[in-house]
Chain A
C-alpha cells in the first residue's frame, strides 16, 4: 500500500520504532499527519527543537535545556541525593513536592540479560559526586523490580565504606486505595515493612 511513496514508507518505519507502536498504528498516524499539513510542520519543529535544545545535565544526568539543570543550580538541600533510574522518575518525585534534595539519574538498572552492567550506568559519576561533596545521605529510589532491587543492593555495597547514610524508598499501599483491591504481593510487602505508629 505504501510502495509508491518512499518518504511515506520511511515515516512509517520511523514511527514503528516508537514503543507501543506497531505497523498498523504507524500507518494510521502517518495518514493522519498527511491529512493535516499544519500538524506535520508543528511536529517536525517540536522534534527539531527537542533535538537541539534538550540534553542531559552534566551533573545529575536528568534532562534539561540549560546545563547544569535548574535543580542542580537551585537552592536545594545539598546533603541528600536521590538516585533514580530514568529522567521521568525525577519528574514523578518532583510532582510530589516531598523531596528537597538533589538527584542522580542512572539511565537504567543492572540487567545482564539486556547487557547492562555497572559500567553502563552513571554509577562512576555518582561515586565521584558523593566523594567530592557534602552529601550525607543517598536515597535509592530505583523501582522495586528485581533489577531495581539488585541495583539498590549494588549501590548499597558501593557506599558501605563512604561514611554516607544509604536509604531505600519505602513502598506499600497507595493512599486512598481499598485494601481489598491490593494485590497480595504488595500486601505481603506492606505487612513485612510495617512501622511503629
Chain B
C-alpha cells in the first residue's frame, strides 16, 4: 500500500450507551468492546436502531434520513440518548434529549447550544444499505453525501454551504418575480460563494480519490480500477479558487437568457454530481451488486483515512447489514482490513456466522429482540 498506515495515536472509542424511548428501544444500557460489536437477531427487531442512535449522537442526523419525530417511541414525547466516549485518552459524556422539533445537547452534563462544537466530539462513519443511493440514487442524494462528508472533515464548510444556498435563494427570488433590480450584485455574490463551495468539494474529492482506489482493490481483492470524479462544468482540476470564481461568473452571465425564461438560476454547484467509474465504465450501469457495495465501502474507508489524516482521529465505524449482498470473499477482505486497523466497529447482521472473525479477535455480541438486548 502506498500510503502510510493509520496512525494509532488517537483512536476514538465509544464506551457505553444509554437509550430511552428511541424508536422501539424503551430502555437499554450497553457496554461496548473496544474492537468489534455485533448486534444480531431476526429482521425487524431493532438492530439498526442501535446504530442509528449512535450515529445520531455523533452527527445529530439519522443515516436513514428520518425525522426526529420518527425516532421517538410512539407512546412518548421525548427520547434520550447518552454515551461516554474516549478520544485521545480524554473522556467525554454526550447526551441528547429531543422531541419532535427541538433537541437539547449536553457535553459532560453541561448544556451546549452550538451543534458545530458538539458534532466534532464523536466522529462516526456509517455504512448502510441506504448508502447505495450514492450509486443508484439522484445527484441530489450524492450531493447530500458529499456535503456531509466534507463537513465532517472541515467544520468551516457548514458556513460556506449555508452562505451559497442563501444567496441562491435570494437570487432565485428576483428571477421568480422577474424583478432584476440589483441582480448583478447577487450574481457576483453567487459566484464568490459558489466558487468557495466548489473549491472545498473538489479538494475533498481529489484527496479522497487515491486512498479510495487503493481500498477498493483491498476490499474487492481484485485489480479493477475504481475512480470517482467530481463533476461541475465550471470546474477544472487545474483551477485556483479565483479561476473557479471567474469561470462560474462567466457561466452565470452566459446563461442569463435561459434563467430568465425558467425563472431560476440554472448553473452552479447546486447541480453538482459525483461520477463513479470501474475500469473506466460507469459503475451504475455496469457494476454488479457486489462491486457496487465494495465501491461504497471503499469510499467509506477512504473517508475514514482522510478524517484520520486531517484531524488525527479515527472515527468509529457503523456497518448496517453489510453482509447481506456481499459475498463471503469480500466480507473476509473487509474484516481482515478492519482487524488490522484500530477502528472500533459496530455491525448488525441477521446471521452472526456470516461474520468470520478469527477466534482471537476481541468482540462483544448483543442479541436484539423487540428492541431489547436479551
Contact = CB atoms under 8 A, between A and B. Distances in A.
Chains A and B bind each other:
yes
Interface of A: 110-113, 117-119, 146-147, 149-151, 153-154, 157, 183-185, 187-188
Q: Identify whether the interface residues of A are mostly helix, strand, loop, or mixed.
A: helix
For chain B, which range describes its interface: under 10, 10 to 19, 20 to 34, or 35 or more residues?
20 to 34
Contacts of B185: 110, 150-151, 153-154, 157
Nearest to B166: A146
Contacts of A184: 154-156, 159
B170 A183 contact: no
B174 A185 contact: no
A151 B189 CA distance: 10
A112 B173 contact: yes
B173 A150 contact: no
- Name which of B116, B167, B181, B184 has the most chain A CB atoms within 10 A of its CB: B181
B120 to A, nearest CB: 10
Interface of B: 116, 154-156, 158-160, 163, 166-167, 169-171, 173-174, 177, 179, 181-182, 184-186, 188-189, 192-193
Contacts of A111: 170
A57 to B, nearest CB: 25
Contacts of A112: 170-171, 173-174, 177, 179, 186
Given A146-B189, A150-B167, A183-B116, A118 B181 contact: yes
Contacts of B155: 184
B189 A153 contact: yes
Contact of A146 (B156, B167, B179): B167
Contacts of B158: 185
B181 A117 contact: yes
14 contacts: A110-B182, A111-B170, A112-B171, A112-B177, A117-B174, A117-B179, A117-B182, A118-B181, A119-B181, A146-B193, A150-B185, A153-B188, A184-B156, A185-B156
A188 B200 CA distance: 13
Given A150-B167, A154-B184, A157-B184, A113 B159 contact: no
Given A154-B184, A188-B156, 12 more contacts: A110-B185, A112-B173, A112-B179, A117-B179, A117-B181, A146-B163, A146-B189, A147-B170, A150-B185, A150-B186, A153-B188, A187-B156
- Name which of B170, B173, B188 has the most chain A CB atoms within 10 A of its CB: B170
B348 to A, nearest CB: 34
Contacts of A157: 184-185, 188
Contacts of A147: 170
